[in-house]
Structure 1
Amino acid sequence: MEDLTGFQRDLLYVVAGLEEPHGLAVKDELEEYYEKDVHHGRLYPNLDTLVEKGLLEKRAKDLRTNAYSLTGRAKREIGARREWESSYLEDGTCRS
């Protein structure tokens, strides 16, 4: 996961947290978190990159909509990332 941008990591976390996530649902979640617009030109190329890297699976939900899901590799990498992050935190807070 070290080769991903922060935005790409955020995409993985949002896909992990949504049921039947599709592009617009992911976009809505990120816009709420970032408190600003996420443009299609940023969202979809990054989702495609995650598919190409083997971290997301993409399937047609209907004629206009794709649904995304984490691969087993993505789940393992998210777990490893969380362990790494928690090694720097105690009880969800910073050590210093």
Structure 2
Amino acid sequence: MNEDTVVNDLANCTAFQRDLLWALSHDDTHNGRSVKTELNDYYGEDLDHGRLTQTLDALVESDLIAKRTHHERTTEYRLTEHGRRALSARQAWQAGHRGDTTEEGHS
């Protein structure tokens, strides 16, 4: 998989999906409840559990995160290597565009 594919995978994500990836990048694994709590704090509101679950499942299908059931009740999520590379590429892209306020820089 080349670097352009990795960048495009994250470019096609919604802002909410990218926020989920960012939240998952802070620790090795998270359970669904800890991810929800972190995003509730960030957004300042109680997120819909169904929306969160659907979004996590979409990221699993895109191979950006991995999901496993722990103790038959707790679902844990972690970034895959593909997800880490995609998030890193996104951060590099953002860093390269900070401070670029000229019209030429936006063409």
Normalising by structure 1, we get a TM-score of 0.90
The counterpart of 2:96, out of the listed 70, 87, 92, is: 87
Gaps of 5+ in 1: none
Task: Work out the CA distance in 1 between the residues paired with 2:81 and 2:28.
Answer: 16
How far the C-alpha of 1:61 sits from its partner, in A, is 1.4
Task: Pick the structure with more helix per residue.
Answer: 2
Match of 1:32 in 2: 41
How far the C-alpha of 1:95 sits from its partner, in A, is 4.9
- Structure number with greater Rg is 2
Q: Percent identity among equivalent residues?
A: 39
Match of 1:60 in 2: 69
Calculate the aligned-residue CA RMSD, in Å: 1.2
Runs of 4+ aligned residues of structure 1 deviating over 3 Å after TM superposition are: none
How far the C-alpha of 1:19 sits from its partner, in A, is 4.4
Task: Count how many residue pairs are aligned between Structure 1 and Structure 2.
Answer: 92
Q: C-alpha deviations, 1:20-59, integer Å up to 9, x for none?
A: 3010100000000000011111100000000000001101
Give the AA of the match of 1:66.
Answer: T
2:11 is paired with a residue whose SS is coil
Q: Does 1:71 align with 2:49?
A: no
Match of 1:5 in 2: 14
Normalising by structure 2, we get a TM-score of 0.81
Q: Is the 8 A contact 2:28 2:78 kept in 1?
A: no
Match of 2:52 in 1: 43
More relative contact order in 1 or in 2 (CA 8 Å, sep 6+)?
2
Gaps of 5+ in 2: 1-9, 102-107
